[in-house]
C-alpha cells in the first residue's frame, strides 16, 4: 500500500490503513503498537518538515517493509544532531529518529539536500 502524504489530512487515513493491515497480519498487540508508532512517526515527520512525500507499507515473508520518501532538504542542521534523543521531535509524538531506530528490526536511511528515504523492516512473527 502506498500513501502520498502532503498535509495533515493524510495522516489519519494512513494510520487507519496501518491499523487495518496490522489487524490482518499481526497477532501480537505490542508489535501492532510498534508498527503503528513507526508509521506515525514517519508520517508526522514528512508532514512537519517537508513539502510532501510517500509512505508505503508492504507485508512480505513475515515482515512489514515500511518505506518513507520525502522531498525535504535532509536533516538540518545535521543527521548527527537528529540522532540525539529528543532533538528532532518538535511537536510530534516525542519519539524522534532514535526511537525509530530502536523500534525497527532493520533500518536503512539515505538523506541529502534533495530528500530523505528511510526503509524499515519490522518482523511480525
Phi, psi of 79 (to 5 degrees): -65, -35
List the grid coordinates of 20.
Answer: 487495518
Residues that bind another protein (CB under 8 A): 28-30, 33-34, 37, 74-75, 77-81, 83-87, 89-91, 93-95, 98-99, 101-114
Q: How far is the CB of 103 from another protein (least distance, A)?
A: 7
Q: How far is the CB of 107 from another protein (least distance, A)?
A: 4
Determine the distance from the C-alpha atom of residue 70 to the mean position of all C-alpha atoms in its chain, rounded to a whole number. Answer: 11
Residue 87 and residue 79 in contact, taking contact as beta carbons nearer than 8 Å: no
Question: 3-state DSSP call for residue 25?
Answer: helix
Nearer to another protein by Cβ, of 23 and 112: the residue is: 112
Q: How far is the CB of 62 from another protein (least distance, A)?
A: 17
Sign, Cα dihedral of 106, 42, 4, 33: positive
Q: How far is the CB of 110 from another protein (least distance, A)?
A: 5
Nearer to another protein by Cβ, of 4 and 86: the residue is: 86
Amino acid at each position: 500500500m502506498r500513501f502520498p502524504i502532503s498535509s495533515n489530512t493524510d495522516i489519519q487515513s494512513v494510520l487507519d490503513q496501518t491499523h487495518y493491515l496490522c489487524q490482518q497480519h499481526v497477532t501480537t498487540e505490542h508489535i501492532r503498537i510498534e508498527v503503528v508508532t513507526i508509521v506515525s512517526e514517519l508520517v508526522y515527520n514528512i508532514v512537519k518538515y517537508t513539502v510532501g512525500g510517500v509512505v508505503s507499507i508492504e507485508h512480505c515473508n513475515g515482515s512489514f517493509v515500511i518505506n518513507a520518501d520525502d522531498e525535504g532538504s535532509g536533516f538540518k542542521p545535521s543527521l548527527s544532531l537528529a540522532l540525539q534523543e529528543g532533538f528532532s521531535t518538535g511537536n510530534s509524538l516525542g519519539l524522534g529518529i532514535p526511537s525509530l531506530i530502536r523500534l525497527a528490526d532493520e533500518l536503512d536511511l539515505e538523506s541529502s539536500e534533495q530528500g530523505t528515504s528511510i526503509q524499515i523492516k519490522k518482523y511480525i512473527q
